[in-house]
Chain A
Amino acid sequence: MKFALAVYGAPANSQAPQSALHFARALVAQGHEIVRLFFYQDGVNTATAIAWPPQDESNLSEQWQQFVQAHNLDAVVCIAAALRRGVVDQTEAERYQLPAHNLRKGYELSGLGQLLDGALMADRLITFGA
């Protein structure tokens, strides 16, 4: 079965990215297909490359990136939500003349339409709210 996942919460203040990762791993283990990951609202913070939690805590951003790359997933980060929170790729950093870019490899900045597209492509859309 085809699944799309939406993540609305950030690693530092919500359990959403952790629950979604548990769920995504169970999906893959059962042979289901993940057609779209969509990180929205505070969930965009999952895709920053420069957050570093204390060493005795799990690094969810890193775990998510490894999962995305290992399974070659279509991982979209909402561009409007990301820009306002300082999560940008090189293109956006240049467009707005920002001093740095920090979007992890494996993710793509795009619009909210990709969430709708994911919902249409998938048999089930599962949302992990903040």
Chain B
Amino acid sequence: MSTLHTANKPGQAIALCLRAVARGDSVLLIEDAVYELLSPATRLKALPDGCSVYVMDIDARARGVEVLAPFEVINYDRFVSLCVGNEKVVSWF
């Protein structure tokens, strides 16, 4: 059973989120959470197998944060699709 985790700020919200991420889960960074990508040592690069990290495009652009592979930029339509494609959605904030 896969879960979509959303995080809306860097720091503790993401740290707690990553403790809960299991194999096959997805993580979506929205709002200020996109600043996490500015950290060279971000733990987002060491997730369990089969995990994807998505980044909300308008939030990254609004903050001047560049999104590079393996992270994927998405829009709200895709956010909805991810909610449908995962059995649970957990929000960290």
Contacts and interface: CB of A to CB of B under 8 A. Distances in A.
Interface residues of A, number: 21
Interface stretch (B18-26, B43-51, B65-73, B79-87): B79-87
A23 B76 contact: yes
Interface secondary structure of A, over-half rule: mixed
Contact of A127 (B31, B58, B77, B93): B93
Interface in B15-40: 30-32
Contacts of A25: 76
Given A15-B31, A22-B76, A25-B76, A128 B89 contact: no
A26 B79 contact: yes
A130 B93 contact: yes
Shortest beta-carbon contacts, A-B, top 3? A129-B93, A26-B76, A127-B91
